Amino acid sequence: MSNESPLSGNELRERLIELFDLVSQDRSTPEAERELSALLETNEGRREYLSIVHQEVLLENYDSVLSDDLSRDDLEVPVVSQQVVSASSNSNWTLMLGMLSLAVAMVVAVMILMKPAPQVVVVDDSPVNESVVQPSLVVMTQEAGAEFFAEHTPMAGSAMRMEHEYSLVTGQVELKFASGATAILEAPCMFEVASQDLLKLTYGNCSVHAPPGAEGFQVLTPAANVIDLGTRFHVQVTEFGDSNVQVIEGEAQVVPHDQSKSAEPVLTGGTAMRVGRREAKDEEEIAFDDSTYRRTLPDRVVGFTTSGPNRASQLETISVQRGGGVMRYRAGDLIGADVVSFCETGSEKLGNGNLLAPYGYQGDGHELALHDSSLVTGVVNPGGSRIPQASDPVLPGDGVDPSSLTPGMLFRFHKPIVNGPGPDLVVFDLQTTTNPPMGDAFHLLPAKFRDVLKPHTVGRYDIQMTSSAAHRVDEFLLLTNQFRPNLTLQDTFSHDLTRHYPGPRFWALAVGVDLSDLGFAAGESVQELFLQDAADDDDRIDPVFVGGFPAGEPVGLQL
Amino acid sequence: MSTSNSSKRFLALLMQYQLRLTCFVRAAIPNRHDADDVTQTLAATLWEKFDHFEEGSDFEKWALKTARFTILAYYRDKKRSRVCFSEPLVEQVMDSAETESIDLDERADALRHCLNKLPVEHREAFSLRYGDECSNRDAALRLGVDETALSKRLKKIRGMLLTCVEKQLAMPVRGVS
């Protein structure tokens, strides 16, 4: 082993910074890695490298470590007052801290899906001299299409900010409190996590479940305080501040803010009451209605993991809630679907860019129509129709007039998929930031119609651009053939494809589709489905991955 | 120790050594994304194994040892794909990182001091690049400068900051201006 570096001083430093940047940012080459390794063989090289790493880690924690308004000392124990710790790359740790109240298995499971969160609140409700940190233990465990007003949706698994008013504009979120109580909040709604066991609901709907041990959890509304006594209950706060309380199971005590009005009734399962803020009829019994209570978030695609030469080329696993339970499948266990027919009715703007391929691809495109677990390959930009096709699609074939073809694409699954509970298949789409954030709308229809069957339109993806579960994918090639209207699958293939390198970065979005929404009966099998872009804008869907969920539970990957 | 006290104690120790552990992992795995993943795994592993940690013993040493196993597991898992360092080299890097005497608080103070000495436009560039986590391209757009020029400038300034920090750390009594 040599202890002398071929470079020294500033030359060594500058070269190490360059090489470290290349490796750090996924831009390295084998040559760069060999050179870095060679420089680290020497003591001087390693010493210099470690100084660079230390500085880089400190800079990456710029806000929490280096900025003037929050010094490093503030991060050290003991922590004696409420403080907000900005978390950038440091959030790997701070998120962990926020989640320690959950079972370790839950922590690990959520960590698979989570990314750095913008903020974690650290509070201390223990004696000052105890020299410990008490993190916020209120965690957003799940979200379904959640969007907040004027702020990003927190990452699933991240701690909620205390005493911060959240306005949930769309979707639903599930919060888990330190006591074990969970609350599902539905948009539109305004709420605040006031303390470890107190949720302030200003407007909207909230379903609470407090299991044994979580008694005492409270929902504070403009009109009353609803105290859990071991129960499931639902609170609706109207725009006038009235509170409608429905107790589904167990008991809950309702304490009106205006103490002159009445006693503090204890409601039992199957009863309901309204506490108003009006001058008259401040409290009254109302009809019990358990239909508003949410036991779980809707069935949906919850998240997915990827791998690849850089970050996200290959789908590895996918988590989906089916029939209320979250299951995780390996990509290879999904039922693949090949593109067997395709028609794009023609657009000069799109220029027949219908194939996506990884960098370096040299083929004629045939295999890109076949199923694989790549999120950057496939046949894309199919034709569409604002009104979905409601009869058997016309497919290319001998003697078929090209102008009569139904725009869209036919997928054939490798084996029939069975209509089970919740989503039965998943569709992935690629979007960039200037595309519709909800995902490219599309219609899905049976390949063969009968009376009960109908097209189903997807306008909002389960994992959309605003979702923390969306993954940025690796760069890819867009392959185009010569422009031709009424283009079919065969027309897209050529040994003379033009290669384009799209400039913007793209994200993979996903949505689950329930075959029941197309009219298929429970347990019915389907092997072919036709997909059309919804033609609601100039953007077309890029269905880079379509897969069916196998019947039964996945083996070894259930959460 | 009760579960609650145990978690509080763990949190306190983890907070105390988080930067040290982050630096250790990053030195062995320079790719930021992979290092983040391994750091997450390490945090979960430390918590899982915290019952085996003997109160009163050296948490830093224990956590670094766990980090070493976690990093080696990462390299073994990654054997099929390309990894940056060979296993003997990563062992060497970890040995150096473990044995070096470093006070990250002191280094952070020195770095803060050196950053404050930078011209305003350079500080702004650092704040955008690292504080706001802008890409070089976005930071260049916001500063109205050429991306390549900004990238080169940031690299040069990082080298200068290292020199400045070393000088600061070498001073017998450092004032923070």
Tens digit of each residue's pLDDT (9 = 90 or more) over A181-201: 999 999 999 999 988 889 999
Contacts of B114 (CB under 8 A, 6+ apart): B161, B164, B165, B168
Nearest in space to A319 (alpha carbons), one of A336, A301, A342: A301
Distance CA A23, CA A37 (A): 11
Distance from CA of A216 to the nearest CA of B (A): 19
Residue B91's pLDDT band (boundaries 50, 70, 90)?
A: very high
pLDDT digits 0-9 by tens, A229-288: 888 999 999 988 889 999 999 999 998 887 666 567 889 999 999 988 765 556 677 889
Distance CA A1, CA A3 (A): 7
Residue at A81: amino acid letter: S
Q: Which tokens hold the place of A499?
A: 């290669």
Determine whether the interchain pair A59/B111 forms a contact, defined as Cβ–Cβ distance below 8 Å: yes
Between residues A485 and A200, the one the model is more confident about: A200
- Number of residues that make up chain A: 559
Determine whether the interchain pair B92/A56 forms a contact, defined as Cβ–Cβ distance below 8 Å: no
Between residues A353 and A297, the one the model is more confident about: A297
Determine whether the interchain pair A26/B31 forms a contact, defined as Cβ–Cβ distance below 8 Å: yes
Distance CA B39, CA A93 (A): 8
Max mean pLDDT range (A51-55, A136-140, B50-54): A51-55
Residues on chain B touching A47 (C-beta within 8 angstroms)? 96, 100
Radius of gyration of chain B (CA): 19
For residue A281, what pLDDT is reported?
54
Distance CA A228, CA A245 (A): 11
pLDDT digits 0-9 by tens, B66-89: 999 999 988 887 764 666 788 899
Sketch out chain B's domains with CATH numbers: 3-99 (1.10.1740.10), 104-170 (1.10.10.10)
Q: Which residues pair with A353 in a beta bridge?
A: A480
In this structure, are residues A373 and A315 in contact, taking their beta carbons and an 8 Å threshold?
yes
Distance CA A134, CA A136 (A): 7
Distance from CA of B134 to the nearest CA of A (A): 11
Reduced to 3 states (helix: H, G, I; strand: E, B; else coil), residue A372 is coil
Distance CA B144, CA B172 (A): 41
Residue B174: pLDDT over 60? no
Burial (CB count within 10 angstroms: exposed 0-12, middle 13-18, buried 19+), residue A450: exposed
Burial (CB count within 10 angstroms: exposed 0-12, middle 13-18, buried 19+), residue B55: exposed
Question: Quick one: fold of A136-292?
Answer: Jelly Rolls (2.60.120)
Q: How many CB atoms lie within 10 A of CB A95?
A: 26
The average confidence (pLDDT) of chain A is: 80
Facing B111 at nearest CB: one of A58, A108, A132: A58
Q: Model's pTM, two decimal places?
A: 0.58
Residue B53: pLDDT over 50? yes
In this structure, are residues A175 and A139 in contact, taking their beta carbons and an 8 Å threshold?
yes
Q: Which tokens hold the place of B2?
A: 């009760």
Answer yes or no: is the ipTM higher than 0.95. Answer: no
Residue A136's pLDDT band (boundaries 50, 70, 90)?
A: very low
Q: Which residues pair with A374 in a beta bridge?
A: A314
Distance from CA of A520 to the nearest CA of B (A): 41
For residue A16, what pLDDT is reported?
93
E strand or H helix that includes residue A507: strand A507-513
Q: How many CB atoms lie within 10 A of CB A46?
A: 22
Q: How many CB atoms lie within 10 A of CB A332?
A: 11
Q: Which long-range contacts (CB under 8 A, 24 or more apart) does A276-282 make?
A: A276/A223, A276/A240, A276/A241, A276/A242, A276/A243, A277/A222, A277/A223, A277/A240, A277/A241, A277/A242, A278/A240, A278/A242, A282/A223, A282/A256, A282/A258
Residue at A158: amino acid letter: S
Distance CA A325, CA A558 (A): 9
Summarize the confidence of residues A529-558 as an average pLDDT: 83
Between residues A555 and A6, the one the model is more confident about: A6
pLDDT digits 0-9 by tens, A88-106: 344 445 445 544 444 333 3
Nearest in space to A101 (alpha carbons), one of A77, A79, A123, A80: A123
Residue A52: pLDDT over 90? yes
Reduced to 3 states (helix: H, G, I; strand: E, B; else coil), residue A398 is coil
